[in-house]
Amino acid sequence: MRAALSGDSAGTEDLSEEISRLRRALARAGGPLGGLVGKSPVMQEIFRAIFSAAEGRAPVVVAGEPGSGRSTVAAAVHHVSARGRAPLWSVVASPSVPIESAEPILEAAAGAAFLVLKGIAHFSLEAQERILRWTEEAAAPRLAVVSPRDIGAAVAEGRLLSAIVEIAEVVPVAPLRERREDIPLLAEYFLRPVDSPERSPVLDPKALEAMAAHEWAGNVRELRNVIRRARALSDGPVIGLTAIQSVLGGDSVRVERAGGIAAEKEIVPVRVGDSMADIERRVLQRTLRFAKGNKKKAAEILELSLKTIYNKVKEYGLEREFNRRFRKARRSE
């Protein structure tokens, strides 16, 4: 990424060629670096590290917390490199599928230009060493390793071969809590459908505030899942605070009064393994009880249209309770 910044024509030509090369690299990556999105200073450092690593031939160690986008970063290093159009091969190890021998990997990845090892803690050190020696050969693919954030600890504990780290280009990937400015852009990216981006819903500002305050232990992967689940709970062009809270709430979801009245305390328990349909039904049911059957007020609380409330009441078989129990409320609508 280094270009001559001089006043002569040769320097200008070098800079123009560098700009053209970067544009071609970004085009190969398929959008914002193949799915990496962000404008925070931390994210800009990650982008710079990607382009710097892409220029070399040494192994790459992408280090960060689970869910932070390490595999996407590793792929981006390859895609913006000079061999970015050539195949990339990934191998994933896990506690249930440890990698003891390198030979099957060497055979499978023989035609690739880039070899990514995921779950490095579950590759034996012997396999790591054999793969490293093979990738040092001229015709072999370049090696990339997805590592825990603490590389030193991984080496000390015998999970990562020190010989890899000693010669590698290290690309650190910061957790999402250290780049919160990127949450709105990431959320927009995950909301945008591939086929019709103009139809993508938007997040209410209060929902974005709640997301900015969340700790994001699962990083970008958790954010993506939250957006998908909140979208499934929402019906309309705006995803509101209640939908986001219902997903982020962990053990409980708080339902607040509409109209700016102080929060009254109605708790809807949410357990791991509950289906989204069941959560939605219980939130709707408790909100209608809280609103004394007034569907218009329930619509305001849940930030949904009145038509959607009627449809959901019918869908979840709640007509009997809320068309009999609160007849006065129904007439007041």
- 8 A C-beta contact, residue 74 and residue 36: no
Which pLDDT belongs to residue 58? 96
Say what the pLDDT of residue 302 is: 84
Distance CA(136)–CA(138), nearest Å, equals 6
User: Closest Cα to residue 290, out of 326, 315, 260?
Assistant: 326
In angstroms and rounded to an integer, the radius of gyration of the C-alpha atoms of the chain is 25
| H or E segment and range at residue 214 | none
158 touches 127 (CB < 8 A): no
List, in order, residues 6 or more apart from 159 with CB less than 8 Å away: 120, 121, 148
Place of tokens 């219980």: 282
Q: Give the integer Cα–Cα distance in Å for 212 and 54.
A: 32
Return d(Cα 139, Cα 257) in angstroms, integer: 66
CATH number corresponding to 9-174: 3.40.50.300
Query: 178-332, which class in CATH?
Result: mainly alpha
In order along its 333 residues, the chain shows pLDDT tens digits of: 333 223 344 445 554 555 455 545 554 444 446 678 888 999 989 999 999 999 999 999 999 999 999 999 999 999 889 888 899 999 999 988 999 999 999 999 999 999 999 999 999 999 999 999 999 998 999 999 999 999 999 999 999 999 999 999 999 999 999 999 999 999 998 988 655 555 778 999 999 999 998 989 999 999 999 998 888 888 788 999 888 988 886 433 344 434 433 334 455 666 656 677 778 888 888 888 888 888 888 888 888 888 888 888 888 888 777 775 444 444 444
Tell me which residue of 144, 35, 12 sits closest to 83, measured CA to CA.
144
Break the chain into its structural domains and give their ranges. Answer: 9-174, 178-332
- Both tokens of 203, joined, read 């997040």
pLDDT at position 251 is 35
